């Protein structure tokens, strides 16, 4: 007989290892068959967590030779202590067991939730008041152990389960109540069940593209849009299966009557950032078969899970990959991506109440029924971890915080500092609404407000400038209170916003009124805007104003206002923000709160681009002007204080004089004139000037040379320069 064969037979006899397979069976896996592992083909091991046993007795187990009960050890069930995790090894030569009880000190937790690797998954959840925390993994209960405080986490329960668990369903039971994982990366639609995910399987095809460059945060031009609104109409030219979806946002080559739509439209427009209304898993519109259901998504259910309504495929890996593909294709198009986040409240208390009520404030600050308490360190840490996860896993470029005003400014700043430390090269944009849901707040003086945001200057966080918005357009939801855009404002109200709302003194700790219009210590701290998804969109505000003042809705004067309002935004210092569709003269038929309205109210109709080509070209021209001239984008308080001066030429005319060369512009000096009065002759400073923008007309200006005087039209932005 062959010598090699003889030696193999000897090995088989000595080890008894014909199939090299041994299986754990016991109460932790409901007496199923879990394959054990070996390093030496003699000792076969597994780690299991035992709870209180089953209906036939306490916690116990056997090891099954073939997985079919033909041969198993020991003869009687091996009983162990309840609520304990053991590493169990069997010597298959002697059939002797060794058991080592695990200690919470042995569990290393880098992040809460389900942290996957090919050899096992570590589960962890914060529930400080609880005594009974159970993991249900694929139908099997595992008692979780209180883990040592570590990595900044306190009050946590943890457990590691061996094996490749990708795709396995799980949830937690806390004091008997089933709860979802606050850190869950994927979820079964409409269930409190999460899915273990190996996120390395979800990369976009070809890997991540290079991120679009951004030299300074003030170089940003933000465009806010809702995923469904952007492409749901057939006029978008997007493939039928991708309309209203992540992939529809970035489908190339789409047109309406030969004009670009979708992502090609945004490239053509020239914006630098797209800000997406919530794209995480929200609670409303749960029935995917109901394709008419609509919601903005400000009702969070799973903070870290992509919304399934925006995915073409319901496969878990594909859902993630489609969102990553959208971000990646935007990057390829030269556009960064900002995510709208809603950490200020949840859809209902049920999201966290059975985990710990410490997630919530005693008083509803959001106006939605509950509000999150980020003054609790582990709640603040959850928000920080979620932000970091989205940046790491989905390669995002910033966040817009809904109702950031319910948070303390130092918490807001701490998140910003942490994220910028972790991602120092990204030039992240982090900004939010500096108000709450109209609630009384005993911590008012500590919250994110215009008067406190300067204290977080080193965190690179900012706020929406409501003062500037109201100075330009007046009231939000009716036709009254027309501002500077309607020839009814006052130049002094425009003055501060046009200079990036910088403080009178560059002292972030000087106490000022919480709603002072001069609040910033850096121009990146002010997000300048006229309209957003909330309230009347600009066109509807204009029509409401026209109704009050008996102006013909078809009047060209109203079209001038559509340009003039954002013309001022695009030529002011700070970061400009545009509501998606404003460049097309979008309307919502007078609906000032369309969060659950139909597509007929909300959708972008791409015929608007053809019908309002002059409006579109004006926006495109002003965006191009801003992108090309850093004189309109000063980067510090000192630069604006030294190089940007404003002159209230009259109560209806504001003139901004900019030393553009100081910010490396190829224009040495720029004059920006906002005229909300009648046409008039403006005496120019000495020298030869060139007209870049005038008369509400993208074809006007054309760099024509002027001296001495220039006729300035009303309801228009005029821009002149000297080389």
**Do the beta carbons of residue 515 and residue 449 sit within 8 Å?**
yes
Q: At what angle do helices 262-269 and 613-628 cross, to 10 degrees?
A: 50
Question: Which pair of tokens denotes residue 313?
Answer: 């495929």
Nearest C-alpha neighbor of 721 from the set 708, 709, 703: 703
Beta bridge partners of 34: 24
Contact 142, 49 (CB under 8 A): yes
* 402 given a catalytic annotation: yes
HSE, side-chain direction, 13 A CA sphere, residue 229: 25
Judge whether 411 counts as a catalytic residue: no
Residue 269 falls in which region: left (phi positive, over 0), alpha (psi -120 to 50) or beta: alpha
Alpha-carbon distance of 404 to 464, in angstroms, equals: 10
Phi then psi for residue 305, to 5 deg, are -110, 130
Contact 222, 275 (CB under 8 A): yes
Residue 275, judged by CB atoms within 10 A of its CB (0-12, 13-18, 19+), counts as buried
Q: Which residue has the tokens 């509400």?
A: 696
Locate 665 and state its tokens: 């512009």
User: Could you tell me if residue 699 is left (phi over 0), alpha (psi between -120 and 50 degrees) or otherwise beta?
Assistant: alpha
User: Cis (ω within 30 of 0) for the bond into 533?
Assistant: no
Distance, in Å, from the CA atom of 448 to the CA atom of 404, rounded to the nearest integer, reads 6
C-alpha span between 372 and 390 (Å, rounded): 19
Q: Rounded to an integer, what distance in angstroms lies between the CA atom of residue 124 and that of residue 354? A: 16
**Tokens 């109901």 map to which residue?**
290
Q: Tokens 């630069």 sit at which residue?
A: 639
Max alpha carbon distance in the chain (Å)?
112
Adjacency order of strands within the sheet including 113-117: 113-117, 120-126, 156-162, 145-146
List the structure tokens of 545: 């104003």
Instruction: Say if residues 437 and 449 touch (Cβ distance below 8 Å).
Output: no
Placement of tokens 């990595």 in the chain: 151
CA gap 53, 30 in Å, rounded: 9
Could you tell me if 685 and 654 are in contact, meaning their C-beta atoms sit under 8 angstroms apart?
no
Report d(CA 500, CA 291) in Å as an integer: 43
Q: Do 527 and 463 form a contact (C-beta atoms < 8 A)?
A: yes
Nearest Cα to Cα of residue 676 among 511, 533, 486: 486
Q: What is the DSSP letter of 106?
A: G
Residue 479 per-residue DSSP state = S
The tokens for 291 are 């394709």
Query: 577 pairs with which residues across the strands?
Result: 222
Catalytically annotated residue among 219, 229, 329, 402 = 402
Task: List the catalytic residue out of 64, 218, 411, 433.
Answer: 433
Catalytic residues, by residue number, are 402, 433
């Amino acid at each position: 007989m062959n010598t090699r064969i003889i030696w193999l037979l000897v090995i088989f006899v000595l080890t008894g290892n014909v199939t090299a397979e041994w299986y754990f069976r016991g109460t932790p896996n409901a007496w199923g068959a879990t394959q054990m592992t070996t390093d030496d083909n003699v000792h076969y091991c597994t780690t299991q967590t035992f709870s209180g046993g089953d209906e036939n007795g306490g916690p116990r187990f056997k090891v099954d030779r073939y997985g079919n009960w033909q041969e198993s050890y020991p003869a009687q069930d091996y009983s162990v202590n309840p609520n304990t995790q053991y590493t169990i090894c069997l010597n298959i030569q002697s059939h002797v067991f060794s058991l080592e009880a695990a200690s919470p000190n042995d569990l290393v937790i880098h992040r809460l939730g389900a942290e996957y690797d090919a050899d096992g998954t570590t589960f962890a959840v914060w529930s400080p008041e609880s005594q009974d925390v159970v993991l249900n993994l694929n139908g099997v209960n595992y008692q979780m152990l209180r883990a040592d405080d570590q990595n900044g986490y306190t009050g946590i329960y943890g457990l590691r389960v061996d094996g490749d668990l990708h795709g396995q369903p799980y949830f937690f039971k806390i004091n008997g109540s089933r709860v979802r994982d606050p850190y869950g990366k994927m979820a079964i639609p409409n269930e409190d069940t999460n899915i273990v995910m190996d996120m390395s399987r979800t990369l976009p095809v070809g890997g991540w593209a290079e991120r679009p460059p951004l030299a300074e945060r003030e170089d940003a031009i933000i465009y806010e849009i809702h995923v469904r609104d952007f492409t749901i109409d057939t006029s978008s030219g997007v493939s039928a299966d991708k309309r209203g979806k992540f992939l529809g946002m970035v489908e190339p080559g789409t047109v309406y009557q030969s004009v670009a739509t979708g992502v090609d439209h945004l490239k053509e427009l020239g914006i630098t950032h797209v800000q997406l209304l919530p794209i995480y898993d929200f609670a409303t519109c749960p029935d995917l078969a109901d394709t008419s259901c609509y919601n903005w998504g400000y009702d969070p259910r799973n903070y870290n899970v992509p919304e399934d309504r925006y995915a073409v495929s319901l496969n878990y890996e594909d859902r993630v990959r489609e969102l990553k593909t959208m971000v990646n294709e935007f990057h390829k198009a030269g556009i960064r991506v900002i995510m709208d986040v809603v950490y200020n409240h949840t859809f209902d208390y049920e999201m966290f109440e059975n985990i710990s009520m410490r997630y919530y404030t005693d008083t509803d600050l959001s106006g939605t029924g509950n509000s999150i308490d980020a003054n609790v360190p582990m709640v603040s840490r959850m928000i920080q971890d979620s932000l970091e996860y989205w940046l790491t896993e989905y390669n995002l470029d910033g966040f817009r915080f809904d109702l950031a005003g319910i948070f303390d400014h130092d918490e807001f700043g701490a998140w910003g500092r942490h994220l910028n430390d972790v991602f120092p090269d990204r030039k992240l944009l982090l900004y939010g609404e500096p108000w709450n849901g109209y609630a009384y707040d005993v911590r008012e003086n500590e919250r994110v407000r215009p008067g406190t945001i300067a204290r977080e200057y080193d965190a690179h966080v900012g706020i929406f400038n409501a003062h500037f918005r109201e100075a330009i357009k007046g009231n939000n939801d009716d036709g009254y209170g027309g501002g500077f855009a309607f020839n009814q404002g006052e130049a002094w109200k425009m003055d501060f916003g046009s200079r990036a709302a910088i403080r009178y003194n560059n002292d972030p700790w000087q106490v000022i009124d919480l709603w002072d219009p001069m609040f910033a210590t850096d121009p990146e701290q002010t997000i300048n805007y006229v309209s957003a998804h909330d309230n009347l969109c600009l066109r509807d505000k204009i029509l409401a104003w026209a109704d009050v003042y008996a102006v013909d809705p078809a009047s060209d004067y109203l079209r001038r206002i559509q340009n003039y309002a954002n013309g001022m935004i695009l030529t002011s210092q700070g970061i400009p923000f545009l509501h998606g569709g404003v460049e097309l003269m979008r309307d919502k038929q007078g609906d000032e709160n369309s969060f659950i309205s139909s597509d007929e109210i909300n959708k972008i109709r791409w015929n608007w681009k053809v019908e309002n080509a002059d409006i579109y070209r004006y926006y495109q021209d002003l965006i191009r002007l801003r992108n090309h001239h850093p004189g309109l984008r000063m980067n510090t308080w000192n630069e604006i204080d030294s190089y940007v001066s404003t002159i209230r030429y009259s109560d209806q005319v504001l003139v901004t004089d900019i030393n553009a060369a100081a910010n490396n512009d190829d224009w040495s000096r720029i004059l920006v004139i906002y005229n909300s009065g009648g046409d008039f002759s403006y005496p120019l400073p000495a020298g030869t000037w060139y007209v870049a923008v005038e008369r509400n007309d993208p074809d006007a200006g054309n760099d024509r040379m002027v001296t001495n005087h220039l006729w300035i039209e009303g309801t228009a932005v005029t821009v002149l320069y000297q080389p």
